[in-house]
Structure 1
Amino acid sequence: MIRRIGLTMLLLACAAAQAQQPQQEESGDAITALTKRYQEQPQAHYLAYLLARFNADAGQQEAALDWLGKLDERGWDLGINPRDFPSLQGNEEFRAIKIELQRQQQRRERGQREVLVNVAGLIPEGLAFDGQRQRYLIGAYNRAQIHAVDLRGKVTRIWASDEALSVLGMTVAADGHTLYAAVNPTAARRAAGDKAFVLLLDLADGRELRRLPAPEAGYLNDLCLLRDGRIVASDSANSRLLQAAPGAAELRLWDEPGHVIAANGVACDDARGAVYVAVYNGISRVDTGTGAAELMDTPRGAAVGGIDGLYLDGNSLVGVQNGFGAGRVLRMRLSGDGESLSRVETLESGIVDLNEPTTGALTPTSFVYIANSQIWKWDDQKQRLRDGQRAAPIMLRRVPLR
């Protein structure tokens, strides 16, 4: 969800994510911060992509084209998101660079279509796998609903509310009986003072078991569960983590040093005593005992920032990347101590089904993900589809991991 939370404010580590500033002023602040970072990390080409975006948003077309030209020269292979750079669409130079970047985009298709989810008007976000019942669970970004989809595509609504809510990250407890979901009020309800919470559902009958409030959260994004029963959740609006011990009355701020800027997907790793957090510039590792956070080292040239959903699969992390470029699915091998990434490989990229991929779920042998979330079609402020847009059926793709 990195695009929707407001990347500009997160880049500047500003807690007041709801503040309203003119777009050009926001872009100017981001350009200053990103330029400084790029001078320090000239091999981090994703920063050049972001600089191109923010310069285009600020009306500085020549600067935007210069940055895109640098990407072309340096072999950028993540492509261009078709919804980026709207102000440049009529520019001949941009069209030429775009064609070249699309030509050199990495294309990989290791998986296949798993199931088509046809729920009228559904804009999905979170995804989980119910192994006991062999079905997928899909949270609705644009309504207070959770649907179950079996392997043949049959859809059953298992939870709904009349409240103005969005369902984001979800996970199934180790016992297979309970679903945990991060739920946020809509923008208007947040402005009125409503707070986010974690929803607990009985998977046998969809019965609502409990709501665990998160009074300090600006915007709950994702969550994971530790073996000791703790819930860890990311607060993307305030760039931080929250947690709740078993029996706690609410989620509270996890006191850590603040390296989780643009906190997004989270993955719990009991074996290594860590929680991995997707941040705008990579993966942050948080020690489960001390709360100390540190940005993980990655192989030179590997772009692992801008990941939305993040999942632990044995000695690897699997991520759905949509923060810059056209979107792809990655597998990142952990070092023996789990403190760095030793190898990064692309699992899926540049295929026709990808249209703002967001999150996924691990099964015993594979990774299944939402290939075409269409989040961009939804207007958060007006709480409806944008003019001229229709929600297409949702494609779930499956990538083998064994």
Structure 2
Amino acid sequence: MQVFILLLFGLVAGACQSLPPVDPDPAASVDAARELFALAAAADQEGDAATALAAIQQAAALRPNHPTLLYNAAALEAQAGYTAQARLRLAKLARMGVGLNVRAQPAFEGMHGHESFERAADQLARNAEPLGETPLHRSISFGPTQFGPVTKILPEGIAYDAQRDDWYVGGVAVPFIVREKAEAVFSATGKRGVFGMQFDAERRVLWAATAFPPGVSTEADHEPPREWVELLGDNWKGRSLLVRIRVDEQELASVMSHGPVHYGGGVQAVSVPGEQPNSLGDVLVRANGEVLTSDAEGGTIWRVIDPDGWDADSEGPWLERWLQGPELPSPQGMAEAAGFVYLADYSTGLHRIDDDGERRPLVKPEELCDLGIDGLAATEDGRHLIAIQNGFAPQRILWLSLSEDGTAVTDWQVLAAGLPEWREPTLGLVHEGWFYFVANSHWPDFADFENPKGKQGVPEIRKLRLPSTESEQE
């Protein structure tokens, strides 16, 4: 009997657990769990219940708080008659906030009526109900582009210029950065979509990560400027680039990758002889002016060297690898709080990183699942993180309280979850006590980027009122 389902969209990506020591090689643990999960699923498909149960239990022991592993271990244990252990796993899933109708699952039919099962089933059902309110803040609309209609933009990141009250939205499928007043301020390089962005108020600069979307061939790239071809040659294809835009002049100032190389016209690019960014996804401008960009496929974080460099007389800007140690499986959103950089890796959860790029221990509540986090932001007092967890069922926005020294997540709560107006929320930002975020990216419609399914609507920025912080109460 096939019982396997996925409760975390990233499959068996990581564990939601309290781990004071730093895992020296997170990717290795992820790979081991994935192999065990695949073995269990194949054995279950073939009717080999003993092998399936042994493999899934090993995987669950390796990643003891992973929703997909917990659920499937519970299902196989229930079928094998280990109902007490299955009920414990379901109760844990309920406390983690997983939303699921387990009463409809044949694997658990024999457990109906048991008090602990019914209690867990009730909570799992409540977890699946919509929670919170996220009213519409802005709809970003603009005219047709050379790349396609606006409704197929696939918005991912946003940025806000408070001085001019300007909102920016970046498109992954329609590679533009668009200002709210129907202005396309930047057409991304070729077919590289625009992912994370951040407005740098001190420099009056918009930083944006661009990369080829999943499944889009680098050979489909549009012809780049002649001087870029002369400098980059074949290295132009397949590149993920960080761009820097002077917003007041609406001028592309720099195109950045690994190692300093310049050419005229005020724009800088880099020929890459060795390693290079693979798929830049998010951008963080730190309080000290340092600029970081995460690399989802490269497994690292890059730092901008000389972010104030503007012309051929300067050495920058260019990128160097900043995150130390082995690569992570899938780095995503970043935020600065309590003097540290916090990184959400889609597969292994939250990481605390010091000024030298070293990962440091981060203690987390036992039943906080921090996998599947895409967007990450911090409150203005630096004591809380806001996380968009679009790889969880149901998709939700979390409020994470940090210890005073930043070494632990001391408490957590779900601010909003499973709302019908969402269509895979992605990235967001905090401004004056509100969290603003892209609510309807429509990523599920873009399995085929050339022929997206469904009817994508105009990009929406929605907002969520945040709990009062201590600094606001003083």
Q: TM-score range by the shorter chain?
A: 0.7 to 0.9
Residue in structure 1 matched with residue 348 of structure 2 by the alignment: 281
Bigger-Rg structure (1/2): 2
In structure 2, the residue corresponding to 1:28 is in which secondary structure?
helix
1:188 is matched by which residue type in structure 2? S
Match of 1:39 in 2: 61
TM-score (norm 1): 0.77
1:185 paired residue number: 212
- In structure 2, the partner of 1:235 is 295
Pick the structure with more strand per residue: 1
DSSP 3-state at the match of 1:109: coil
> Is the contact between residue 283 and residue 295 of structure 1 (CA under 8 Å) also seen in structure 2?
no
Choose which of 40, 48, 63 in structure 1 pairs with 2:67: 48
Distance 2:178 2:278 in 1: 25
Shift of 1:174: 3.3
Distance 1:94 1:34, change over 3 A: closer
- Give identity over the alignment, percent: 22
Alignment of 1:93-172 (within 5 A): 93=106, 101-105=124-128, 107-118=130-141, 119-149=150-180, 154-161=181-188, 163-172=190-199
Q: Which residue of 2 aligns with 1:209?
A: 253
RMSD: 4.1
Distance in 1 between the 2:277 and 2:13 partners?
A: 16
Which residue of structure 2 aligns with residue 293 of structure 1?
Answer: 359
Question: Is the partner of 2:67 in helix, strand or coil?
Answer: helix
2:422 to 350, 354, 368: 354
CA 1:231–1:68 in 2, change beyond 3 Å: closer, same or farther?
Answer: farther
Deviates more, 1:116-125 or 1:308-317: 116-125
8 Å contact from structure 2 (residues 334, 342) kept in 1: yes
Matched, 1:393 2:419: no
Structure 1 residue identity aligned to 2:298: N
Alignment of 1:324 onto 2:389 = no
Distance in 2 separating the partners of 1:176 and 1:81: 47
| 1:138-172 Cα shifts (integer Å, max 9, x gaps) | 110112201122xxxx5332211471111001001
**Match for 2:165: what amino acid?**
Q
**Native 8 Å contact 2:218 2:238 kept in 1:** yes
Match of 1:375 among 434, 440, 443: 443
1:217-228 mapped onto 2 (5 Å cutoff): 217-228=277-288
Q: Which residue of 2 aligns with 1:254?
A: 322
Tell me the amino acid that sits aligned with residue 237 of structure 1.
Answer: E
Q: Give the aligned residue type for 1:125.
A: E
Query: How many Å separate the matches in 2 of 1:250 and 1:239?
Result: 18
User: Secondary structure at the residue paired with 2:196?
Assistant: strand
Matched, 1:175 2:202: yes
Partner of 1:334: 402
Name the CA shift for 1:52/1:299 in 2 (closer, same or farther; >3 Å).
closer
Aligned counterparts of 2:171 and 2:73: Cα–Cα separation in 1 = 30
Deviation at 1:268, TM superposition (A): 2.9
1:28 equivalent in alignment to 2:38: yes
8 Å contact from structure 1 (residues 10, 237) kept in 2: no
The 1:162–1:175 alpha-carbon spacing in structure 2 relative to 1, beyond 3 Å, is: closer
CA contact (8 A) 1:182 1:198 kept: yes
